[in-house]
Structure 1
């Protein structure tokens, strides 16, 4: 007999593994499962490399408890075939009320797919730790958020959510980005930052962006300086995301930093 899992999740990978992440972590799949999975639970995690046109079978969607859309070097407002197909999939998951967690590009493409607008930030790149203020006006998540201070998260993006879809609500913002986190009902959650990133992953990404002339040396130095003096609240962010995926937003105990 095969193993019976309590929950089943899928990572929709919108980026290709970097050589560094493959060497150190065995690929982004392992990074995401370590951050958002739960070793104490009987969970099954699958991966679909949507960036390469690999998607779950539509007939299999109902068997999943939740989905995560990863970050990506691509623009969420692009018209690549796989991005358009991903938008169609996200619309289907929304109609099914499936839990979907979008991270960075995933946060943005979720917004686009469901009727919002994304684009380049007027203030340019945001790389490094950033303090996010949690909005306490969302009664659905009050149990989780009422004891949370502003939380620092690792950022790496030059695009952002410009307009939210109808029915969406901002639940996190920063001094640079107006929509750091949004939700729709109890099944859609977008997070602009990267709870799954470690400092070494970001440092390697900064090296690659520099080598591609995507950022200036001053931006790289500033990001590294902030990393040295600010500690991201990664574990807390990961617990927030796991609570969302498990449907525990209303009953999850207070999370300490």
Structure 2
């Protein structure tokens, strides 16, 4: 098997808290570590040993950085296979925030232009919400409160295909468990998307849009999103809970529930570094 490189343009939509940076680094560090770790433990050892990931970060908030158009063209030197959006403390539907409209427009371009159909889009939390808006959907403030810590995502039939594959996990084939940090949510699917996961509180936790070349016997994803944070560890979530509790963003009840949930079933968190991370890799590797 020949060695393959997957090049990821990571749109950095926030800067982590100082306590998170001190312990885990920037979001470029955190996402690179997550992708490398999930690849290292990937169930197919040939893929794990013969694939490498290159992650370039673009500060879309303060520097308004974006991948050059030339890197989004198929066959160009150093062209990207994937554009991935991180989470953020910012509000995706706050169009008065100066970095939000250009971000939405860039994502819309990548997601709809025939020239960039070869580029996969992956959205994490805030990224999931931005992709929804860019592709004709919505993001709104949630009426059912915060989801913080590890929650089980109930999977649809399509969700079981994309998120679990043939790999057994904490929730069997029915659920995946992922660290959460959100109240805003996507209330309904954008046009052309398929629902993959939900929780009792919020209806759209994950969605997919198939590539134009996809067939029933050979489905290929062009866009994959998840509301949760597969890249987060319990320690990262704990630092955010501490800070937001001290600021009064989380009340006592929300803080207590968050701390109860942040370790998940066994204290190690969700399945982000296991089969959820592997599922993201399967999507990115799809041709």
Shorter chain as denominator, the TM-score bin is 0.7 to 0.9
* 1:152 aligns to 2:177 (yes or no): yes
Partner of 1:55: 66
Q: TM-score, normalised by structure 1?
A: 0.88
- Cα distance change of structure 1 residues 103 and 141 upon mapping to structure 2, 3 Å threshold: closer
- Cα distance change of structure 1 residues 166 and 28 upon mapping to structure 2, 3 Å threshold: same
8 A contact 2:163–2:176 mirrored in 1: no
2:261 and 2:6 map into 1 onto residues whose CA distance is 38
How many pairs does the alignment contain? 245
5+ long unaligned stretches in structure 1: 249-257
8 A contact 1:133–1:150 mirrored in 2: yes
- Cα distance change of structure 1 residues 114 and 209 upon mapping to structure 2, 3 Å threshold: same
- Cα distance change of structure 1 residues 131 and 139 upon mapping to structure 2, 3 Å threshold: closer
Deviations 1:107-157 (A, max 9, x none): 000000110011011101111111111211479749827963311111110
- Cα distance change of structure 1 residues 145 and 125 upon mapping to structure 2, 3 Å threshold: farther
Partner of 1:217: 252
Which SS does the other structure have where 2:262 is aligned?
helix
5+ long unaligned stretches in structure 2: 41-48, 74-78, 211-220
1:1-257 alignment, distance < 5 Å: 6-37=5-36, 38=39, 40=49, 41-52=51-62, 53-62=64-73, 63-79=79-95, 80-94=97-111, 95=113, 96-97=116-117, 98-137=119-158, 141=162, 144=165, 148-185=173-210, 186-228=221-263, 230-231=265-266, 232-234=270-272, 235-247=274-286
Deviation of 1:228 (Å): 4.6
2:54 and 2:164 map into 1 onto residues whose CA distance is 28
8 A contact 1:136–1:145 mirrored in 2: no
1:5 and 1:227 map into 2 onto residues whose CA distance is 35
1:23 and 1:143 map into 2 onto residues whose CA distance is 33
Provide the alpha-carbon RMSD of the alignment. 2.2
Which stretch shows the higher mean deviation, 189-198 or 58-67? 58-67
Which stretch shows the higher mean deviation, 4-13 or 24-33? 4-13
